[in-house]
Structure 1
């Protein structure tokens, strides 16, 4: 169904006039406020949907652009993707071979404790996406050695049917059962015409006890089990899923991990793995691909590091 803003406003004013004539002023004002709030959330999500305007249209560089032209099978898996060969992600991080970097300014996380207007989950047939709509500026990261301010765009997840796999990045050749990748875009580049100016903050998960913060999305995965399904869920601050960190995190220059795998993305890898239970992980494994089968694996294999350097960043308190 196509949303018509002009028709919606005509309906509001008509309703307002009828209620005012009947002298139910309080009911009129409450009704208008509720309808305008719904309109605001809907409009915000329209802006967050790729292809609906320049403000958040990064469809040529992010996981939002995935189509039916590839998957992770033998026929159309990563070994068949025609992408650049250098500076690709993910990578293996050898903790003994990283370059230690000290900086005087910590990472600055702004707005991640703010309650969004709405949160939407989407199963695009390859992965689970999470987007949030805000009244005003989206949460952003700056500070440390970042040369710009990076605004939150979306979250995607990587997993496998096997507990010993799942994550795209590895630490000392160890895979983790789940990886959460939080895409950010350069706030100064409003149209995001290329992959330059992308920051991906990655969190690895290890099997452990139940993670109550994950349940804010786990309980709603049943609504997006089929490819193409979307669901708007009760909003929550992003720091429920994204614990802030300020020091001892890894970083390197790489690419996005889905075709066309654009280069120019900076990666931050959180230093401390998060917890996920077997039950919670199983809920991700129920999500289905476009073929109707369960998504058994959606991780690109580790790529060659070549001459790139992985940094271990530490905030030096003065």
Structure 2
């Protein structure tokens, strides 16, 4: 859609704001964001897309030939998540959540899983250190990708986007000059009942679902290179509490889960912006340094967790629990319990 057509579809007052901001120097735009100017914050990704810094990152990984055949019909095909989609796993795929291969035994095979900076942890608000900054700046999260792939990898379900222009890939940073973290994918963790499922807990309380939006540090160029670097990864976590109402943001995913019920099946979804799943927040969140929550448990993650849970319905949770794992059985539990905090500090940001 041309800029002129987009402008005609907006109210006159917003058009004036849009073009005034588009002409503003980048430093002024940053100052407005820091001051919490709400029209800019709500539409930042769309307004300043052409002012975004050049994204010198690795080319977008293709989904492969199978994904091309999926496009447009929504049908699922059996695939190999690494070879056919170009999707790179966060770690070793030979692990599970059963007694014989579950979290309590991971450290026997993966030494790093017994480290002192492991994730998840319990977020104890009584001992967390409170700060009033930094403010997180989100860029391009409202821009729709060219295509969206939904993948059951046998352990969880993942959502990957593909953008035609690398400058449109979502990224964020902590103001004023924190490292930029580039979006890679979203995945989920859940349990067999509504009393469990989240990996992080808050004051000992678990939630039925936790969503992770995985990002890699821009200067490291790719997820693969960021895995082993200190703070090479940023995972943005969101907890979900049970509600009588469906979560409309999750609906495009939960309604398509039956298309990828079997392990190593994928389906193409109608494109939607990352912000439809990941709510933009900056005022209330937890942060700490930790690890991947799955083997090989690299301690390379800067965690940011939204303080306010979102909602999910029982019907939507049932769709997650009907997904099949690599053993052909329903994935009823794919979360790691909280790990010792040791000498680390949880910081809660309030504004």
Change (3 A) 1:307 1:294: same
Aligned to 1:249: 285
Q: Does 1:45 align with 2:63?
A: yes
Aligned to 1:87: 117
Q: Does 1:307 align with 2:329?
A: no
Structure 1 distance, partners of 2:212, 2:261, is 20
TM-aligned CA deviation for residue 44 of structure 1: 3.6
Q: Which moved more, 1:144-153 or 1:80-89?
A: 144-153
Q: Does 1:283 align with 2:319?
A: yes
Aligned to 1:292: 328
Aligned to 1:100: 130
Q: Does 1:176 align with 2:212?
A: no
CA RMSD of the aligned region, Å? 2.3
TM-aligned CA deviation for residue 314 of structure 1: 3.1
Q: Structure 1: which 5+ residue stretches go unaligned?
A: 1-41
TM-aligned CA deviation for residue 231 of structure 1: 0.7
Aligned to 2:228: 195
TM-aligned CA deviation for residue 136 of structure 1: 1.7
Q: Does 1:269 align with 2:305?
A: yes
TM-score normalised to structure 1 length: 0.79
* Counterpart contact for 1:150–1:185, Cα < 8 Å: yes
* Counterpart contact for 2:61–2:87, Cα < 8 Å: no
TM-aligned CA deviation for residue 76 of structure 1: 0.6
Aligned match for 1:130, one of 159, 183, 189: 159
TM-aligned CA deviation for residue 43 of structure 1: 7.1
TM-aligned CA deviation for residue 147 of structure 1: 2.7
* Secondary structure of 1:188's aligned partner: helix
Structure 1 distance, partners of 2:63, 2:142, is 20
* Counterpart contact for 1:116–1:236, Cα < 8 Å: yes
Structure 2 distance, partners of 1:146, 1:313, is 17
TM-score normalised to structure 2 length: 0.72
Q: Which runs of structure 2 are paired with 1:201-280 in the superposition (5 Å)?
A: 201-208=236-243, 209-280=245-316
Which structure 1 residue ranges, 4+ long, deviate > 6 Å from structure 2?
A: none
Q: Which moved more, 1:251-260 or 1:81-90?
A: 81-90
Q: Structure 2: which 5+ residue stretches go unaligned?
A: 1-59, 68-80
* Counterpart contact for 1:106–1:246, Cα < 8 Å: yes
Aligned to 1:18: none
Asked which structure has the greater CA Rg, the reply is 1
* Counterpart contact for 1:154–1:184, Cα < 8 Å: yes
TM-aligned CA deviation for residue 57 of structure 1: 7.3
TM-aligned CA deviation for residue 45 of structure 1: 2.6
Change (3 A) 1:181 1:297: same
Q: Does 1:186 align with 2:217?
A: yes
Q: Output one character per residue of 1:4-49: Cα deviation in whole Å (capped at 9) or x when no partner.
A: xxxxxxxxxxxxxxxxxxxxxxxxxxxxxxxxxxxxxx97434997
TM-aligned CA deviation for residue 219 of structure 1: 1.1
Structure 2 distance, partners of 1:76, 1:43, is 31
TM-aligned CA deviation for residue 145 of structure 1: 6.8
